[in-house]
Amino acid sequence: MDAPAAPLPEDLAAIERETLAAIDAAADEAALEAVRVAALGKRGAVSERMKTLGAMSADERRVMGPALNGLKARVADAVGARREALVAEALQRRLAEERVDVTLETEPAPIVSGRIHPISQVWDELTAIFADLGFAIAEGPDIETDDLNFTKLNFPEGHPARDMHDTFFLPERADGTRRLLRTHTSPVQVRTMLAQRPPIRIIAPGRTYRCDSDQTHTPMFHQVEGLVVDETSHVGHLKWVLTEFCRAFFEVEDAAMRFRPSYFPFTEPSYEVDIRCRRSSAGIELGAGDDWLEILGSGMVHPNVLANCGLDPDVHQGFAWGMGIDRLAMLKYGMPDLRDLFEADVRWLTHYGFAPLDRPSLAGGLSR
C-alpha cells in the first residue's frame, strides 16, 4: 500500500493552485491548450521540475517523484475535465444559435404571392366561355387605318358617328392618310372577313382607345368583339349566344336580358343589350331585381359591311357584338372606379387580384 502522499513543498503547491485556477478560467479550447502547454509542455512548469529529479539524491527522489507525478496527473485530469466541459458548452451554444423552427411557415414563392389582374382574369374567363361555344380568337393591331376602323364598317367619310368616337389620330402621312388608335375592336371583324371565308365564329379581345377620362372612362380600355357569319344565323342565335354568355360569365342561373333597338352603322338591326339587376347601397346584384344595366352593343352585320369585305349579302349573313371588358370586370367583381384598374397599385391588386394557379375554366369554375 502506498504511503500517504507527503504534503507538497510550497513552490509546487503554488504551481498547482495557479495552474488549476488558469484551467478553470480558460474560456475556450485554445486558451485551455495554452494553459496545458505552460504546465505540461516540454518547457512547462511541471516538466521543468521533472527534469530536476535526475540530479536528486535517492531519498529526495523517493519523495519528489510521487509528488511531481501526482501533480502532473492532477493537472492532466483537470485539463481533460475542462476540455470536456468546453466541448459540451460549445455544442450547446451552437445548438441554441443554429436552432431551426421547422414549424415556421416558409416564404411564399412569387407564383403563389403574385396576383392576376382582374382584366386578365375576365379576359381569360370570357375566352374560356366562348371557346366552349366553338369560337376562335382573332387579333388586330392597336394602330389601325381609318379605312378598317371606320370606312369598311359603313361609317362613310364625314358621317356624324365618326365624331362620337373621340379618336386619337396619328400625324398625317405623305400620301394624306392618317392612322389612328383603334376606337373599338370592330375592325377585327373586317380583318377576319377579308382573311377567311365563312363560316366564321370568332371573338376578338383587345385594347381600344378614346380621348375620354372620368370615373367610367379611361383613354385606353378593353373590348371584346364577337362575330358570326354563315348563311343561316339570325337574331335568335344572337340572343341565345349572348344570354348563354351572360349566364356563364356572371355565374347566375337566370340572366334576364333586354334587347333595345339602337343604332350602329355596321349593324342592321342593332340592339343595345341590358341585363336585369338590383341596385342598392351595397352595389349591383345581377340576375335579380327590377333595374336594367346596359352591358353591350350588338346586331346583324350590315349588308354594306359584308359587301365591303367581299361577301355577297344575298348569300351570307351573321351577327356581331362588342362589349367592354373593364366594365364586365367592374360589374362582376364590384370595383367602383374604372381608373383604379390602371393605377398599378399593389395594395389594390392584392385585394382584387386572382391566384395565378387558378386558371378559369368552365369545368373547374370561372372565378371560384
Count of residues that bind ligand DAH according to CB under 6 A: 11
Of 123 and 321, the one with the shorter C-beta distance to ligand DAH is 321
From CA 17, how far away is CA 298, in angstroms rounded?
Answer: 104
Of 35 and 296, the one with the shorter C-beta distance to ligand DAH is 296
Of 260 and 279, the one with the shorter C-beta distance to ligand DAH is 260
Of 84 and 139, the one with the shorter C-beta distance to ligand DAH is 139
Q: Give the residue at shortest CB distance from ligand DAH.
A: 322
Per CB under 6 A, 149 contacts ligand DAH? no
Alpha helices in 41-178, H assignment, sequence order: 45-51, 58-97, 110-113, 118-132, 146-149, 160-163
From CA 329, how far away is CA 122, in angstroms rounded?
Answer: 6
Q: Which three cell numbers stand for residue 48?
A: 521543468
Going by DSSP bridges, is the β-strand pair 257-264/267-280 parallel, antiparallel, or unpaired?
Answer: antiparallel
Binding mask 294-313 for ligand DAH (x = CB under 6 A): ---xxx--------------
Least Å distance, CB 105 to ligand DAH, is: 48
Of 69 and 304, the one with the shorter C-beta distance to ligand DAH is 304
- Say if residues 297 and 185 touch (Cβ distance below 8 Å): no
Question: For 198-211, b where at least 16 C-beta lie within 10 A, e where not — what string?
Answer: bebbbbbbbebbbe
Going by DSSP bridges, is the β-strand pair 179-181/200-209 parallel, antiparallel, or unpaired?
Answer: unpaired
Least Å distance, CB 154 to ligand DAH, is: 11
Residues 224-243 that bind ligand DAH (CB under 6 A): 225
Per CB under 6 A, 322 contacts ligand DAH? yes
Report the residue from 130, 264, 352, 354 that binds ligand DAH according to the rule CB under 6 A: 264
Report the residue from 184, 191, 276, 327 that binds ligand DAH according to the rule CB under 6 A: 184
Per CB under 6 A, 148 contacts ligand DAH? no
Helices (H) and strands (E) in the chain, counts: 13, 10
Cβ contacts of residue 136 below 8 Å, gap of 6+?
Answer: 201, 202, 203
Q: Contact residues for ligand DAH (CB under 6 A)?
A: 184, 186, 225, 264, 267, 297-299, 320-322
